Amino acid sequence: MYKISLMDPSDLEASYDIEKRTNPSPWSKENFFSSFEVGHKSLVCKLKKRIVGFVIYSNFKKESHLLSIAVDKDLQRKGAGSLLLKSMISQSKALGAKKILLEVRMKNKSAIAFYNNFKFVEDAVRVGYYTGSDPDDALLMSLDI
């Protein structure tokens, strides 16, 4: 059974390994670790003490911004991502947020479907948002909570 907990410094390496394996343009290690240090909110999902996923988000007044969410490839589509997102939504509500915002690659049809299942709406497109070896546009999505 999955267990959600606050990310702590000892979880960073394993979480970053998942980031590198699942994201076509992963954050740099420095950015990933500094996100934790600057106070972004973060949760991990564990299965028998193994970190299998994480979510990182920022909260400012009435909005939360989902910065990154990932689940190890061998456990995708098995409930860990949904549990992480539900937990993030609950925490955001507790922090006073009324809306959650995110960007997702236009090519990532499974992620878009995942967010649509949670009733996120498609707001706009940022052309050329993702650069590097796998450039893409970003679909901006939001959820009123």
Which residue in this structure is represented by tokens 């939001």?
Answer: 142
Q: Does the annotation mark 115 as catalytic?
A: yes
Q: Give kind and range of the element (H or E) at residue 27.
A: none
Under a CB-based contact definition with an 8 Å cutoff, are residues 115 and 89 in contact? no
Q: Does the annotation mark 16 as catalytic?
A: no
Q: One of 16, 19, 57, 115 is an active-site residue; which one?
A: 115
Under a CB-based contact definition with an 8 Å cutoff, are residues 15 and 55 in contact? no
Q: One of 16, 19, 103, 130 is an active-site residue; which one?
A: 103
Beta bridge partners of 54: 44, 70
Structural tokens at position 28: 């740099």
Residue 125 has phi, psi (to 5 degrees) of: -125, 135
Residues annotated catalytic, as ranges? 103, 115
